[in-house]
Amino acid sequence: MKKTTACIAAAVSALAIAALSGCAGSNGASTPSSAELDAMAQKMAQSSFHDKGIVKVSEALAADDTLRACDKADVGGAHLDAATAKKLEAENFKTIQWPADGKYLGDWKSGEKIAQSGKGRTWTDKAGDPNGGNCYNCHQIDKKEISFGTIGPSLYNYGKLRGVTDPNSPQAQEMVRYTWGKIWNSKAYNACSNMPRAGAKGILTQKQIADIVALLLDPKSPVNQ
C-alpha cells in the first residue's frame, strides 16, 4: 500500500546521521544519541514540509509505540524481542473493529477494483473520497498479472490454498475472521509488519474491507481460479 510522509522523516533522519557522521569524522565531535537524532529529524521535517490539502504534517509524521519499537529494532539491525512483539500485537488486536452488520464478505468484483487501485491520501484528493487498497503494489493478486509488488507474499489462490471452498461455512469462519483482522490491523498479527493498518488508520471502510475479504476467499474470485 501507499507509503506515507513517514518515509520522508526516515530520509531526513538518514541525512542528519550522514551529515553529523561527517562532522564527527572531521572535528572529533561525538555522534549524537538516537533520541537526539530523532528530535533533529522531527524538527527538520516540521520546518521543511507543510500541510497541503488533506495531508497534514503532524499526522503523517506521527508515530505510536508500535512504530517506535519496530523502528528502533530495525535501526539496531535486530528483530523485536518476543515479549515486546507479543505485547504490541495484543494492543493492536484491541483496535480491530469487526463488521457492524456481522457480514465479513462483500462483493469480490468491487474488492478487485479496490485492490488494484492506488487512489487516495494525497494532497490533491478530497476528504471523504474513497481510497484504493493499493494491494497490487505489494502482492500478486491474479495469475494473469505480469507486474506486481513482492514486498508481501502472493495472494493468488489465497482461499484455495487454505482449504476455503465455502467462506460461509462454519469451518471457514476462523480464516474469514483472520483475513478481516489482518486487513484491519496487520500489526495485531505481526507487530513489525510492513502492511499498512488499513482499517485502524482509516484508509479503508468496513464495506471496502468486506469486499477485499470476498476477493481473497470467494471461490468465484479470480484469486482462487
Over residues 88-105, the mean pLDDT reads: 97
- Banded pLDDT at 5 (limits 50, 70, 90): very low
pLDDT of residue 28: 57
Residue 32 lies in domain: 6-62
**Does the pLDDT of residue 61 top 90, yes or no?**
no
Q: Which three cell numbers stand for residue 94?
A: 484491541
CATH number at residue 207: 1.10.760.10
Q: Where are the alpha helices (DSSP H) in 94-154?
A: 108-115
Q: Which residues contact 212 (CB under 8 A, 6 or more apart)?
A: 106, 111, 114, 115, 133, 135, 183, 204
User: What total number of domains does the chain contain?
Assistant: 2
The answer on 115 and 56 residing in a single domain is no
**Does the pLDDT of residue 20 top 70, yes or no?**
no
For the question of whether the overall pTM of this predicted structure is more than 0.85, the answer is no
Q: Which of 4-8, 111-115, 189-193, 201-205 has the lowest mean pLDDT?
A: 4-8
pLDDT of residue 27: 56
The answer on 196 and 134 residing in a single domain is yes
